[in-house]
Amino acid sequence: MASQAPPARRGRPPRGAGQLTRTRIVEATLDVIDRDGIDSVGIRAVARVLEVDPKSLYNHVDGKDGLLDAVAEHLLGSIELPTRSGDLRTDLRAIANAFRDRALVHPAAAALVLTRQLASVAGLAPIQAVLEILRAAGCAPAESVHVMRTLLATLIGTVLREVNAGPVYGTSDTDGIAARQAILEQSGLPAVVEAAPYLARFDRQAEFDYTIDLALDMVTARIPPAPQH
């Protein structure tokens, strides 16, 4: 009679568990998000990317929420925070530019920083930096939080618009601009016809700069000027 295979050893770690790190899991989760969007993230989807047993991920993250928290923490923690100059507009603009640089690497994941409640120092560091700038400018704590949230929502919306710009926002291609402008000028809508040359064109950098300027105008208008001595 043929001998039977020996039973599996109890306590043996799941396949691939010894090779996993939180960094590898975050990178695999970002691969899923980049390819299929945030809604596609899950333990099994990430395990397929890593080619490991799904159970092995639970040694590092607590299910889907843990994956999303880890990605949000990574996005915020990887921002290279600039040295403060002491000027409100300069410092907030510098952080906005640093955030955009990181968000454009994985734009589909950018919205996670609005929806996850992080507790780590790395994840909270950019929030700390913005609040410090606002408080130093004389903004009260409650107002600082409102301003910080508004700036963050504006930044993420601008990044998402930048990477998903469609016909409503125009194009940067010369032939495309001309074709779109012709269509708009034939609409018969006076305001649209008048603005057709501008509606047909979409310059990502110019749009970002304009949006940040507008947001910073709002911030400076809400913060009372420092008392003169």
30 or 156: which leads in pLDDT: 30
Please state the rounded mean pLDDT for residues 202-212.
Answer: 91
- 14 pLDDT above the threshold of 80: no
Angle (CA) 161 107 165, round 5°: 25
- Give me the helix-helix angle, 43-50 and 63-77, nearest 10°: 70
Residue 169's contacts (CB-CB under 8 Å, 6 or more residues apart) are 161, 202, 207
Q: Model pTM? A: 0.79
pLDDT in the model for residue 226 = 61
DSSP one-letter code for 86 = S
The pLDDT of 181-208, averaged and rounded, is 92
Residue 35: closest CA among 43, 44, 45: 45
> Please, what's the b/e burial string for 47-64 (b: 16 or more CB within 10 A of its CB; e: otherwise)?
bebbebebebbeebbeee
35-49: average pLDDT? 95
Q: How big is the chain by its Cα radius of gyration, in Å?
A: 24
CA distance 204 to 163: 9
Mean pLDDT, residues 93-102 taken together: 94
Q: What is the mean pLDDT of residues 37-48?
A: 95
